[in-house]
């Protein structure tokens, strides 16, 4: 049959991250998602293939169930085709195969239940593809996937050859692949409608069943652009498509039923053009670029192991696995992709998104503990796990009490890089973000500060005389005269039934004279079984021959569970009061910076979640505090985003040879101040 038509599937992707703020969800829904629904209804002749992430569908169903009803109706008429994928929008390549299958099946049955048919297509979150995906996707019952055409071009295909579907295969498992057309993504909405029609026209070739696949993020229309303008553009465009007889609107599944893919293709690891650029070629690079992202990912893998272990025990003992099922669901939510990466804006820079990942992973862990203790009768105890948690070849120490997880990295200054609270609120108080260089900052007139160490808990400095708070926050060179902040600490672990102590010690140096003057720093971290506290006994000993005058300053950056975006407004800020207690009491907030001469305690309260963290020390002393702000690009303009509050008591020490000075610090977390 000689055809002079172009097949034109129109694919729209709808997603909002787990943990997205309610007011943003509402705004995007109003400005963009309603716009699409109106256009579906206005243009019944156009077929749309839609992907809604599972978490977004759940939100819409809860808040705007009429929207779901209207989608159902359109699906019933055959106007809409739904695409599946991972329920909670994970980047599929970075989660275990079992979880890929589980998340895809979960979503397929949800779509079947809600809209009447199982999906045939797979949406790849952030369009991240690796060749090995073909097997699990096919095993999960999916028939096709969409991959950006730039990867076809990289594999040597001409543009003309991307106007076809192909097969790919992995270990004998077959999947169809549709190339996503890049040119149309840049033409549509940004250029006059005629340009897109002309492009489609040029793609027509008699006798070939050519297809040009357009995909878009839903939010491009109405949320990233003026809603009225975008709606008018789209309405006019869809009317033009309706009037053009040689453009055949159809679903991807429908195309595959009528036309055979052109042949076999093997594509390299892929994503869309910009994602490839941001990640440096490969999505997994985000784990090496951002330790914060790696931390979440490896936490996910670690918690997952715990669930598997508990399952094995449950299977042997025939215990109920109800709590473990809950743990799996929490884990899947903790795989939602958004905070695991950063492109132009948001992502790993947004504390509210990072902390929701931790919240779900910690809740998964809590469900496992409950299952072990209440169902399988395991004894309550503090666990000490030595493990290369972040896969960098060095061991970390994970202390797990009833109420806290404390993850220590002895090789990196003996810092605490994760402090999970396991209460009514599940939160990692060390979920900060360190400031680093981003390529897009090159064009900025004023270059933002870059940290030379990860801003976490218990970073031990020897401050240079004359240093100011501003110079410290701006990371002025050589503010630190010691070698304790990022260097290796030795460690010993002491366990009793009720408490664990970790003694971290380092024989290092003070360097103010240009040569090393030896100093022994010991910090002993104690964690009790059942209260949400940890104490640290510090001992600083001059082991050299010269007397030393020091300003010894253990710095800790902690972050409460925040519910604001970028910079809090006055009302949001008032939800996070701070109190400094010393010879006088000072009321302040998480964004304030300053110096108090005689402080003993620093409280951060979160009135919204009704939880507080208190950092105290044994004697009144000078305190420096201030917000950690990472300046990053946003949808609007570069903004200093809150990433935690720095709390740094400074202990002045005059140590003769063999002189020792000690002090202690205590971190406690409490709920229910408003009861």
Binding footprint of Ca ion on the chain (CB under 5 A): 388, 390, 392, 394
Where is 40: in which H helix or E strand? Answer: helix 34-42
Shortest distance in whole angstroms from residue 341 CB to Ca ion: 21
Distance CA 149, CA 159 (A): 8
Shortest distance in whole angstroms from residue 291 CB to Ca ion: 10
Q: Please state the three-class secondary structure of 146-195 as a single string.
A: EEEHHHHHHCCCCHHHHCCCEEEEECCEEEEEEEECHHHHHHCCCCCHHH
**Nearer CB in complex with Ca ion: 209/390:** 390
**Nearer CB in complex with Ca ion: 322/394:** 394
**Nearer CB in complex with Ca ion: 34/392:** 392
Residue 149 main-chain phi, psi, to 5 deg: -65, -20
Distance CA 266, CA 177 (A): 10
> Cα 445–451–454 angle (5° rounding)?
145
**Nearer CB in complex with Ca ion: 397/590:** 397
**Nearer CB in complex with Ca ion: 394/447:** 394
**Nearer CB in complex with Ca ion: 71/398:** 398
Shortest distance in whole angstroms from residue 155 CB to Ca ion: 36
**Nearer CB in complex with Ca ion: 127/459:** 459
Shortest distance in whole angstroms from residue 134 CB to Ca ion: 32
**Nearer CB in complex with Ca ion: 388/476:** 388
Tokens matching residue 639: 């903004």
456, 415 Cβ separation under 8 angstroms: yes
Shortest distance in whole angstroms from residue 407 CB to Ca ion: 10
DSSP 439: G
Shortest distance in whole angstroms from residue 280 CB to Ca ion: 22
> Cα 403–408–409 angle (5° rounding)?
165
**Nearer CB in complex with Ca ion: 51/297:** 297
Tokens matching residue 528: 């009790």
Percent helix / strand / coil, the chain, rounded to 5: 35, 30, 35
Shortest distance in whole angstroms from residue 410 CB to Ca ion: 10
Shortest distance in whole angstroms from residue 18 CB to Ca ion: 27
195, 186 Cβ separation under 8 angstroms: no
Tokens matching residue 225: 């652009």
**Nearer CB in complex with Ca ion: 182/392:** 392
DSSP 116: S
> Cα 538–542–547 angle (5° rounding)?
130
Within 13 A of 335's CA, how many CA atoms are on the CB side? 30
The pairing of beta strand 121-122 with beta strand 144-148 = parallel
Distance CA 515, CA 512 (A): 7
Shortest distance in whole angstroms from residue 469 CB to Ca ion: 32
**Nearer CB in complex with Ca ion: 242/392:** 392
Shortest distance in whole angstroms from residue 452 CB to Ca ion: 19
Helical axes 34-42 vs 227-243, angle rounded to 10°: 20
Helix ranges, 204-282 (H):
227-243, 252-258, 273-279
Shortest distance in whole angstroms from residue 475 CB to Ca ion: 25
In terms of Cβ atoms closer than 10 Å to its own Cβ (0-12, 13-18, 19+), residue 478 is: exposed
336, 301 Cβ separation under 8 angstroms: no
434, 446 Cβ separation under 8 angstroms: no
Closest listed residue to residue 117, CA positions, set 49, 179, 66, 167: 49
**Nearer CB in complex with Ca ion: 41/388:** 388
Shortest distance in whole angstroms from residue 298 CB to Ca ion: 9
360, 330 Cβ separation under 8 angstroms: yes
Give the DSSP letter string of 316-365. Answer: HHT---HHHHHHHHHHHHTTBSGGG--SSSSGGG-HHHHHHHHHHHHHHH
Shortest distance in whole angstroms from residue 394 CB to Ca ion: 4
**Nearer CB in complex with Ca ion: 292/390:** 390
């Amino acid at each position: 049959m000689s055809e002079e038509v172009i097949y034109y599937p129109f694919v729209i992707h709808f997603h909002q991250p787990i943990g997205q703020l309610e007011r943003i969800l509402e705004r995007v829904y109003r400005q963009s998602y309603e716009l699409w629904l109106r256009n579906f209804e206005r243009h019944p002749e156009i077929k749309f293939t839609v992907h809604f992430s599972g978490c977004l569908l759940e939100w819409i169903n809860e808040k705007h169930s009429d929207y779901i009803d209207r989608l159902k109706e359109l699906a019933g008429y055959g106007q809409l085709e739904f695409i599946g994928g991972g329920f909670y929008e994970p980047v599929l390549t970075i989660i275990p195969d079992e979880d890929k299958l589980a998340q895809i099946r979960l979503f397929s049955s949800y779509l079947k239940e809600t809209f009447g048919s199982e999906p045939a297509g797979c949406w790849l979150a952030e369009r991240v593809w690796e060749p090995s995906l073909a097997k699990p996707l096919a095993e999960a019952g999916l028939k096709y996937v969409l991959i950006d055409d730039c990867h076809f071009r990289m594999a040597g295909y001409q543009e003309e050859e991307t106007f076809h579907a192909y097969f790919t295969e992995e270990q004998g498992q077959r999947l169809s692949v549709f190339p996503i057309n890049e040119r149309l993504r840049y033409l549509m909405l940004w250029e006059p409608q005629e340009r897109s029609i002309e492009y489609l026209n040029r793609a027509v070739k008699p006798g070939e069943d050519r297809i040009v696949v357009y995909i878009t993020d839903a939010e491009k229309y109405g949320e990233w652009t003026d809603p009225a303008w975008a709606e008018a553009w789209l309405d006019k465009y869809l009317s033009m498509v309706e009037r053009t007889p040689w453009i055949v609107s159809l679903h991807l599944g429908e195309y595959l039923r009528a036309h055979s893919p052109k042949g076999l293709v093997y594509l390299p690891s892929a994503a869309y053009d910009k994602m490839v650029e941001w990640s440096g070629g490969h999505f997994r690079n985000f784990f090496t670029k951002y330790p914060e992202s790696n931390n979440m990912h490896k936490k996910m893998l670690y918690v997952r192991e715990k669930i598997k272990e508990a399952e094995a025990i449950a299977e042997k003992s025939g215990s109920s696995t109800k709590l473990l099922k809950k743990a799996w669901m929490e884990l899947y939510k903790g795989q939602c992709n958004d905070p695991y990466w950063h492109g132009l804006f948001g992502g790993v820079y947004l504390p509210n998104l990072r902390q929701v990942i931790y919240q779900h992973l910690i809740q998964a862990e809590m469900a496992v503990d409950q299952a072990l203790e209440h169902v399988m009768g395991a004894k309550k105890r503090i666990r000490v796990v030595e493990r290369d948690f972040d896969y960098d070849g060095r061991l970390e120490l994970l202390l797990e009490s009833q109420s806290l997880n404390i993850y220590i990295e002895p090789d990196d200054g003996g810092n605490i890089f994760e402090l999970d609270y396991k209460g009514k609120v599940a939160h990692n108080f060390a979920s900060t973000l360190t400031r680093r260089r981003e390529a897009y900052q090159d064009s900025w007139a004023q270059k933002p500060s870059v940290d030379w160490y990860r801003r976490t808990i218990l970073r031990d400095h020897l401050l240079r005389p004359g240093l100011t708070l501003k110079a410290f926050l701006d990371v002025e060179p050589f503010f630190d005269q010691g070698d304790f902040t990022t260097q290796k600490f030795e460690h010993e672990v002491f366990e009793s039934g009720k408490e664990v102590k970790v003694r971290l010690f380092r024989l290092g140096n003070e360097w103010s004279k240009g040569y090393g003057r030896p100093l022994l720093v010991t910090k002993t971290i104690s964690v009790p079984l059942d209260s949400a506290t940890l104490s640290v006994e510090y001992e600083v000993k001059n082991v050299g021959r010269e007397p030393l005058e020091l300003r010894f300053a253990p710095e800790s950056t902690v972050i409460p569970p925040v519910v604001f975006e970028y910079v809090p407004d006055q009302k949001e800020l008032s939800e996070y009061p701070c109190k400094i207690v010393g010879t006088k009491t000072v009321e302040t907030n998480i964004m304030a910076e300053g110096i108090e001469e005689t402080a003993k305690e620093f409280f951060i309260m979160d009135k919204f979640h009704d939880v507080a963290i208190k950092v105290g020390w044994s004697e009144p002393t000078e305190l420096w505090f201030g917000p950690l702000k990472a300046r990053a690009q946003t949808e609007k303009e570069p903004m200093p985003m809150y990433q935690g509050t720095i709390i740094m008591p400074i202990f002045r020490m005059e140590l003769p040879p063999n002189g020792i000075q000690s002090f202690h610090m205590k971190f406690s977390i409490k709920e229910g101040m408003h009861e």
